[in-house]
Amino acid sequence: MNLILIHSHEPDSAGRVSLAGERAEHILHVLKAAPGKTLRIGLLNGSKGRGMVERISGQEVVLQCEFEEKIPPRPTVDLLLALPRPKVMKRLWAQLAALGVGRIILTNAEKVERYYFDSHILEPDFYNERLIEGLQQAGDTILPEVRIIKELKPFLEDELNSVFPISGKKLLADPSGEKNIFQCMEPATPQRCCLAVGPEGGWTPYELELFAAHGFQVFTAGPRILRTDTACVALLSLLTLLSGSNEQ
């Protein structure tokens, strides 16, 4: 935890928050903070700040909080990901939040097994906990928005334009791409970007056509075939850097 996240309802009117559980444990046993020590904190979906340890009683830690005015920007890259196996997705949540992603849109695809959608890893209580873990690791406060799409085609046809600006860049990594990522993005020109990552085995030709019809540009990420989780981390970090999202 490089930042301790606090929910907006937690501080009292004097800016005091009383922590128990995992966060208190981290403060006491990892940071070994004594009264008077100042810690990096943040309001979930709000600004960052500093919390001074005011009092420790047993397993409870009371912080006196001060927050900055500025709220960190939402990361500029959105991820449209064909839902991976639950075991893989379980590991991805925290990593995606740590890398910084505006939205995580999980979608069905021809090569996605239907039963993946029944997994508990798609329940908000489950994934929010992991996303918050990733934010606390990375020192960010902005929780990615999560959407779960059971049908790709109607989503692309009816909803994509409302959730993602038409002017934004839409990219899809596929070995069929002729351009590489540098030819698709102008480095350090901040712009919103939606990245589509396919299932193990790739998108079908029909799905690729559908994406192309909705403005997605195909790029090649090289000849190596990566596991979904490796590909997501690799491509997301690339695009984050290229879209200028990293220059906070």
For 126, list phi and psi in degrees, rounded to 5. Answer: -70, -50
State both tokens at 26: 């981290």
In the block, which residue shows the tokens 């943040």?
A: 42
Asked if residue 241 binds a second copy (CB under 8 A), the reply is yes
Residues 94 and 130: beta-carbon distance below 8 Å: yes
224 binds a second copy (CB under 8 A): yes
Sequence-ordered list of residues with C-beta below 8 angstroms from that of 13, at least 6 positions apart, any chain: none
Do the beta carbons of residue 142 and residue 44 sit within 8 Å? no
Q: Cβ 214 to a second copy, closest distance in Å?
A: 26
Dihedral angle, C-alpha 35, 39, 41, 47, nearest 10 ° = 110
Q: How far is the CB of 130 from a second copy (least distance, A)?
A: 12
Q: Does 207 bind a second copy (CB under 8 A)?
A: no
Is 138 or 146 the residue whose CB approaches a second copy more closely? 138
Tokens representing 185 are: 């993005």
What number of chain residues touch a second copy (CB under 8 A)?
35
Of 161 and 230, which CB lies nearer to a second copy in the complex structure? 230
Q: Binders of a second copy among 135-194, rule CB under 8 A?
A: 137-140, 180-182, 187-188
Nearer to a second copy, 59 or 230 (CB): 230
Our finding on whether 88 is near a second copy (CB under 8 A) is no
**Site membership for a second copy, residue 39 (CB under 8 A):** no
Considering the rule CB under 8 A, would residue 95 count as an interface residue with a second copy?
A: yes
Stretch that binds a second copy, among 58-66, 105-113, 142-150, 221-229 (CB under 8 A): 221-229
The set of residues, in sequence order, having a beta carbon less than 8 Å from that of 159 and lying 6+ positions away, is: none
Q: Is 81 in the site for a second copy (CB under 8 A)?
A: no
- Say whether 115 sits in a helix, a strand or coil: helix
Q: Exactly one of 61, 106, 156, 221 binds a second copy (CB under 8 A); which one?
A: 221
Q: Could you tell me which residues are beta bridge partners of residue 150?
A: none
Instruction: Name residues whose C-beta falls within 8 Å of residue 223's C-beta, 6 or more positions apart in sequence.
Output: 175
Q: How far apart are CA 91 and CA 95, in angstroms?
A: 7
Closest separation in Å from C-beta 165 to a second copy: 23
Binding site for a second copy (CB under 8 A): 2, 94-95, 98-100, 137-140, 180-182, 187-188, 221-227, 229-230, 233-238, 240-241, 246-248
